[in-house]
Amino acid sequence: MLDNLQLFVDAPFLLIQVLLDGILFGAIFAIAAYGMALVWGVMNVINIVQGEFVMLGGFITFQLTLWGIHPLFGIPVAAAVLFVIGIGLYYGVIRRVVDKDMFISLLATFGLSILLQQLMNQIWGGDVRTAQSGLGTWFLFDYTVTIGQIKVVACAGALILGLILILFLKKSRLGQAIRATAQNPRAARVLGINTDKVFAATYGINAALCGAAGALVVMAYSVHPYIGLPYTVRSFMIVIVAGLGNLPGVILAGLGLGAAENFAAFILGAQFQVAFVFCLLVVILVVRNTLLRHKRKYLK
């Protein structure tokens, strides 16, 4: 562990490498987190199946490459397929738990996450999959820092998706209905908004967003049926740190998390990266709770 730290002193460019990789990775977390915040804010459901949506988007893109289609087309295709799946899951499952106790919806989406994991495992098997984009690598600082071009494309793609979503929520009628429902579902219903449809659309849009993110993940990194949960937990952490409905905050928290995780993996060893993510989750929750308690404290 200390040897790894020593490396930073010996080769300072390594710092830039790790930081850059982390930030590029973090942009994808941000996009999944924004979808989670949307569902949480509008429907009051914490969507544990978030990470599996991302993985499914990745596998769909992988399947396209098997058929000889360039993975970039995977972005719209995965988004479209996931949108349909999201709507289907809403009407089949989520709709029945949306107004129940939050733990019920938590458990229901957890069940969905196990279901999707196992389905993906049955269809594509338990191997780690990637989709070759055919893009090259940039070398900086005398070949000491390397950047996969596809990672930059993925990062940019994630940010563009975020922008599209923002514009959609601000400008379109459906987007306005979603925002109205988020503020006050009952008032929205009184004003004639069909909140059931709004919920379905919200859930579908979130799934589509995750699907597109998954296409970026499979191109720039890799997918596997069982690594969805870390994406869910990352999204959750980002939402807790940034708050609901705060896109700049979500992006910043996403990039920060990506960087922190990459440094942790480098220093502790890659086998502890996932453990770090989950421990960080617990730490963030404990800190958040302590801060809230402090606020409530009686007379200083």
Partner 1 sequence: MNGRGQIILGIVIVAAALAAPLVFPAFRAQIAMLWIMVLFALTWDILGGQTGYNTFGNIIFFGTGMYAAAVFQRDGGFDYFPGLFIGMGLGAVISVVLAAVLGSMILRMRGHYFAIATLGLGIAAGEIASGWNFIGAGSGMSPPLFPGAPGVSYIFFGYLFFGLALITFLILAWVYRTRFGLALNAIRDNEDKAEAMGLKTDTYKIAAWMLAALFLGLCGGAAGNMLGFIDPRDTAFAGATFGVWMVLMAILGGKGTLWGPVLGAFVFHVTQEILWTHLLGWQRVALGLIIVGIVVFFPQGILGWARTRWPERFGHRVETP
Nearer to partner 1 (CB atom), residue 293 or residue 300 = 293
The angle at the Cα of 266, spanning 282 to 280, to the nearest 5 degrees, equals 5
Other beta carbons less than 10 A from residue 5's beta carbon:
10
* Closest CB to partner 1 among residues 25, 236: 236
The residue (of 114 and 180) whose beta carbon lies closer to partner 1 is 114
Q: Which of 115, 152, 153, 267 binds partner 1 (CB under 8 A)?
A: 115
Q: Does residue number 281 form part of the binding site for partner 1 (CB under 8 A)?
A: yes
Q: How far apart are CA 47 and CA 107, in angstroms?
A: 9
Interacting span for partner 1 (CB under 8 A) from 23-31, 213-221, 252-260, 275-283: 275-283
Q: Out of 14, 15, 69, 114, which residue is the one contacting partner 1 (CB under 8 A)?
A: 114
Place of tokens 């002193």: 9
Pairwise CA distance, residues 49 & 55, whole Å:
10
Chain CA centroid to CA 178, Å: 20
16 binds partner 1 (CB under 8 A): no
List the interface residues with partner 1, window 230-249 (CB under 8 A).
233, 236
Residue 126: CB minimum distance to partner 1, A: 11
Q: Angle of helix 149-171 relative to helix 12-43, nearest 10 degrees? A: 30
Collapsing DSSP to helix, strand or coil, 140 comes out as strand
Rounded distance between C-alpha atoms, residue 53 and residue 83, angstroms: 10
How many binding residues for partner 1 (CB under 8 A)? 40
Sole window of 4-12, 141-149, 171-179, 269-277 interacting with partner 1 (rule: CB under 8 A): 269-277
Q: Is 104 in the site for partner 1 (CB under 8 A)?
A: yes
What is d(CA 184, CA 167) in angstroms, rounded to the nearest whole number?
21
Q: Which stretch binds partner 1 (CB under 8 A): 2-10, 31-39, 80-88, 274-282?
A: 274-282
Cα distances (Å, whole numbers) of residue 83 to 33, 54, 113 = 17, 12, 16
Q: Is residue 100 involved in binding partner 1 (CB under 8 A)?
A: yes
The piece of 17-25, 61-69, 170-178, 228-236 that touches partner 1 (CB under 8 A) is: 228-236
In the region spanning residues 120 to 139, those forming contacts with partner 1, defined by CB under 8 A, are: 121-122
Show the tokens assigned to 260: 């922190």
Residues whose CB falls within 8 Å of the CB of residue 278, separated by 6 or more in sequence, listed in order:
230, 233
How many Å from the N-terminal Cα to the C-terminal Cα in the chain? 41
Q: What is the DSSP letter of 291?
A: H
Verify binding: residue 98, partner 1, rule CB under 8 A.
no
Question: Would you tell me which residues interact with partner 1 (CB under 8 A)?
Answer: 46, 93, 96-97, 100, 102-104, 106-108, 110-119, 121-122, 229, 233, 236, 269, 271-272, 274-275, 278-279, 281-282, 285-286, 288-289, 293
